[in-house]
A and B are shown apart, each in its own frame.
Chain A
């Protein structure tokens, strides 16, 4: 029972600032709890303030005025259905769709809603006023109730974020943002990448930070993650939604893609002066360094064009300028430190894994990043499309340094499991993207000359030779 004490110790109630996941039925939404903040979820609006102080996993119902009310613990179950389902038809031979089976009109239902009737009561009203309900089969009755419940009963559960919930949420709500990466594919990535505590993982993703967050969750704050990014800065919204404790963030580094070549060539300039001068020199081309700087300059320009020669104003402005310069300096210094620490992580070229999931062409990304990975470490590349991964595969074969290459995708099917009504769910996802995975090895010196070089692909080439004549003969 000692463990129980431990358990309650670590369990903290929902509080302001927490990142939470709301669940209604199969629909999820991630939000951060703020005071008196209106949240819109599934066509309903409410305030989360009443959830504060409660424990995670608590069920709420929405009351008039958008406040949440604790849902009674007693499980209502299918009480509404059970009493009525005693009387049921055998089949639907006498059920005619005349559009008049429901005696309540839309207006009637609206009135019921306005009266503040509970969802369950409205469902009961609908059942009572349905002339065909009693003739429906038991199964059809259940289905009817389930459908109505979904519409009128709106219980909302507040959950702690996890990769499972966020990956399902993103896939359901905004698949475009995560390059259509389905959760079972993400699961493969984390496992094939052997993501675990204590390792040093390089991540390059344009999946809103979801992949980054899932990697960080599996690392549990042990080890380090280097996020490579293209453009002005890393995207992390999805990662923020996990609500990691602050010590997790200390293990996270970021490195701009546009400095990879410099780092590899050993010409990356990290001393303070150099960064400064570099920034001044190529302010436009070096967008990742200077985006904020350029913006500042632009916004300050119209100001300086104003003709005001008031000396006091001038002084103020000068002071402001100085302050701004100071702030900029501090920011630069911070940026330099960050860059230096990320560079230090990469320089050893001894990363324990590489995870890529982006909308960029994976080939150059993979070939470039693989240089930072130690031998005998797994890597995994996601792409929404198969063809770019075929190219990666071919290039890697030519280049060497990687073995056990596999191009895969997975197929996911959900089942409805109910007494006498078990079958696959009618609608399934068409595709969850493709993965190329493999293992790094020490690059041999005389790779190309080695007679066994073709050992792996040999089997395939052989097959190809066998196959092509048959192609020819069949045409």
Chain B
């Protein structure tokens, strides 16, 4: 197992995602002799996990079962231990595409935070790219290094414990892309410019507030960045369901049109329920509540020096 390479079977030391049911998952580290408690009973690593195929069904002690999944950055994002607010897959997807990341890209990122985006970047730039990530919080930086090691991606990443606004990324003229998720990104624009390659590159800044965006855009313009573009993407998850809709009874009609015929006229499945006629309608409904705002994404291109 590695976050940048699929494998077929579970091995000691792997991180696996236990799928317990709808939107309910947990990450576990596989260790021989270890046990993990779930609501369906206990999972014994040695017998239930090691040597099993990823994606297989594991029966727990209480007779219930779970699926064991191969880790991916997307599964990690919804399972990781939060040390900060994190970026979610929808924003990550757009950041990756708009920064033009691909195998071999050299990327600078700050701050590392909980490493949600870092894992996605590493997946995309492997096996030949590199991520320089800067985190000013010593403990978070330490924790990130540990995680990268555990996830077998540490050869692709350098974590620096410094203040990006004051000390920059610790590299210059190497990056194809820079990503900023810090409270005052405008203070890091100079450093971002220096980190980017001579031939130019892409920049993205993530900010929740429009005032931050305003200041960042001004700084980007002042530093000669081009194609400055701010956008926002929201994900709508649709709940697929079959809804039952009753059909009103209009009373008897001369010529006796059956009420069930009205149902079939609607071209829907009928509910075989005498008396009250109704149809089943397969539909997808929006959630009652959804994330209405995560942050503004500002993209820009640094032209050739």
Residues on A facing B (Cβ under 8 Å): 1, 3-4, 7-8, 11, 55-58, 75, 162-164, 167, 183-184, 186-188, 190-192, 194, 196-199, 217-222, 350, 352, 374-378, 386, 390-391, 393-394, 403-415, 417, 419, 422, 434, 439-442, 444, 450, 452, 455-457, 459-460, 463-464, 467-468, 471-472, 475
In the complex, chain B residues whose CB is within 8 Å of the CB of A183: 97
CA distance A253 to B124 in the complex (A): 22
CA distance A417 to B214 in the complex (A): 6
Name 27 A/B residue pairs within 8 A (Cβ), A-sorted: A163-B97, A167-B97, A184-B233, A188-B89, A191-B92, A219-B103, A220-B103, A220-B128, A222-B127, A352-B6, A376-B53, A390-B240, A391-B282, A393-B240, A403-B19, A404-B19, A405-B240, A407-B238, A415-B296, A422-B210, A441-B55, A441-B69, A442-B56, A450-B65, A452-B65, A456-B21, A464-B241
In the complex, chain B residues whose CB is within 8 Å of the CB of A475: 246, 248
Stretch at the interface among B137-145, B223-231, B256-264: B223-231
Within 8 A of A (CB), among B52-103: 53-57, 64-65, 67-70, 72-74, 89-90, 92-94, 96-98, 100, 102-103
| Set A55, A394, A442: member contacting B282, Cβ < 8 A | A394
In the complex, chain A residues whose CB is within 8 Å of the CB of B104: 220
Q: Say whether B243 contacts A409, CB under 8 Å.
A: no
Q: Say whether A386 contacts B92, CB under 8 Å.
A: no
Extra A-B contacts (8), CB below 8 Å, given A194-B72, A413-B233: A3-B106, A4-B173, A184-B97, A220-B104, A376-B54, A407-B237, A413-B232, A464-B243
Residue of A nearest to B94 (CB): A187
Q: Is B27 an interface residue (CB 8 A)?
A: no
Contact with A along B17-58 (1 / 0, CB 8 A): 001011000000000000000000000000000000111110
CA distance A151 to B74 in the complex (A): 44
CA distance A447 to B52 in the complex (A): 19
| Closest-CB distance, B10 to chain A (whole angstroms) | 10
Q: Say whether A472 contacts B246, CB under 8 Å.
A: yes
Within 8 A of A (CB), among B213-272: 213-214, 217-218, 224, 228-246, 248
CA distance A348 to B245 in the complex (A): 46
The verdict on A199 contacting B6 (CB below 8 Å), with A375-B54, A403-B19 known, is: yes
In the complex, chain A residues whose CB is within 8 Å of the CB of B56: 375, 441-442
The verdict on A413 contacting B231 (CB below 8 Å), with A390-B284, A455-B21, A456-B21 known, is: yes
* Number of A-B residue pairs with CB-CB distance less than 8 Å in the complex they form: 215
The verdict on A187 contacting B243 (CB below 8 Å), with A222-B127, A408-B235, A410-B234 known, is: no
The verdict on A456 contacting B22 (CB below 8 Å), with A222-B103, A417-B228 known, is: yes
In the complex, chain A residues whose CB is within 8 Å of the CB of B19: 403-404, 439, 441
CA distance A442 to B52 in the complex (A): 11
Residue of A nearest to B230 (CB): A415
| Closest-CB distance, B84 to chain A (whole angstroms) | 21
Residue of B nearest to A3 (CB): B174
CA distance A186 to B65 in the complex (A): 34
Q: Say whether A390 contacts B282, CB under 8 Å.
A: yes
| Closest-CB distance, A155 to chain B (whole angstroms) | 11
| Closest-CB distance, B31 to chain A (whole angstroms) | 20
Q: Is B191 an interface residue (CB 8 A)?
A: no
In the complex, chain A residues whose CB is within 8 Å of the CB of B296: 415
